[in-house]
A and B are shown apart, each in its own frame.
Chain A
Amino acid sequence: MPTITPAATGAVALLVGTRKGAFILKSDRARRRWKLTGPLNLGQIIHHVMLDPRDRKTMLMAASTGHLGPTLFRSTDQGRSWKEAKRPPAYPTAKEGEKARAVDHTFWLTPGHPSTKGTWYAGTSPQGLFRTEDGGDTWAPVTGLTDHPEYSKWFGSAKDGTPDGAKLHSVIVDPRDARHLYVGMSSGGVLESKDAGATWSPLVKGLEVVEGFDANTLSFHDPHCVRLCPSNPDRLYQQNHCGIYRLDRPDDAWVRIGRAMPKAVGDIGFPMVVHPRDADTAWVFPMDGSGVWPRTSPGGKPAAFVTKNAGRSWKRLDGGLPKQQAWLTVKRQAMSADAHGPVGLYFGTTGGELWASRDEGAKWSCIARHLPEIYAVEAAELTR
């Protein structure tokens, strides 16, 4: 069991990726006042912005536009200046007879293990996993996954992916072991590697798929967001297309903990957020997954839900949120937690609103509005 990191006390920076550029909101130490800066790269689709917690200086930003190819920007001064990566994630040029694959965009960024300085992972659309060992300047495919003989069977066709393109996301590095990795794929399920990506095994036992389909077929699995608990790396939570789940290793069967959610709300959603110091506590932001899947707050009444007992029960958290006619959508990267005590929670909506809570979700306030469609919100500590 790793040592639990003491609660943070410094200012928080929210790294916000939107359909039209990136923004950074910085708080005071009390997290009461926020200052918005940006846009950075106005007009570019920013899928994810991440700070490297190992040096608290390096940031990576995954960008594309509707027309130009994908790229990746790097900052080594906490976002004050940015430079384009020399070799962004891309496949090798295919030899004759090989499948000619191309990265549409980088979707997910994960800093590597503290012992492997400069290493990051990137999940792409269509599903692909890339690694850099020089802090994000040059990237290469993790061929144990991208060249796996079952690759196309796992991922299915473009029709199995999400409307914005099939994605590899939720790249997780075990804090105890740099070689132990998890990834989520929409579609393709959850995969695990114990050898730094050289070999992979599916980890989908217990996960449900859409009614009438065979759960033994990986391409029918759609894990929306998977998170590992920093205070207990043997515990993972997952918001799936078909419910909310928990997994306690070394067990390999997920347990559907979303059954305890109120029936009228259901257990469908995109984001999954875990507590930095309490593995029994996790948050979700449910959406309407009925009929044609509106993917908006059920009944137009937005709320986060928290469990404090590993999923045995859930509590509605809607203090300060609109009580009716509020049809919010929160994407899988658009909700996160800081490391303060009590934990601060943040979510961004596709309508360009950014909401914050300083008390673990009990009371929410809108800290920015009129932003472009929000894709990602990461809470970062620039200082401890």
Chain B
Amino acid sequence: MKVLIPSPLRSYTGEGRVEATGATLAELLADLERRYPGIRFRMIDEQNRVRRHMRVFVNGEEAEDLSVALKPSDEVQIVQALSGG
């Protein structure tokens, strides 16, 4: 499925849109980690919590946890909060 990557994570992927697979969000993130080592820990902490300023949307709906089921036709958007200075 298509995954939208925010600019702070493009040093891992090299591009803003990538393809990845998984029946759940957790599996999708594991697939991203296999393809782009190190990317998962920048988004998800060691307790499997989405980091404070990161948000993940599936077809425009925010995913609250990593158990959310996915279909190959889904579009996943990873977004970083536009805060800071």
Q: Which A residues lie at the B interface, using CB under 8 A? A: 43, 65-71, 84, 86, 88, 90-94, 100-103
Contact = CB atoms under 8 A, between A and B. Distances in A.
B49 A102 contact: yes
Given A91-B46, A93-B46, A102-B46, A67 B51 contact: yes
B38 A68 contact: no
The size class of the interface chain B forms with chain A is: 20 to 34
Contact of A101 (B37, B47, B54, B80): B47
A92 B45 CA distance: 10
A43 B38 CA distance: 18
Contacts, number: 55
Contacts of A68: 8-9, 42-43, 51, 54, 80
Given A71-B38, A88-B41, A66 B46 contact: no
A69 B43 contact: yes
B48 interface: yes
Interface of B: 8-9, 37-38, 41-49, 51, 53-54, 80-81, 83-84
A82 B41 CA distance: 18
Contacts of A84: 37-38
Nearest to A19: B85
20 contacts: A67-B80, A67-B81, A68-B8, A68-B9, A68-B42, A69-B44, A69-B51, A70-B41, A84-B37, A84-B38, A86-B37, A90-B41, A91-B47, A93-B47, A93-B48, A101-B47, A102-B46, A102-B47, A102-B49, A103-B46
A67 B54 contact: yes
A102 B50 CA distance: 12
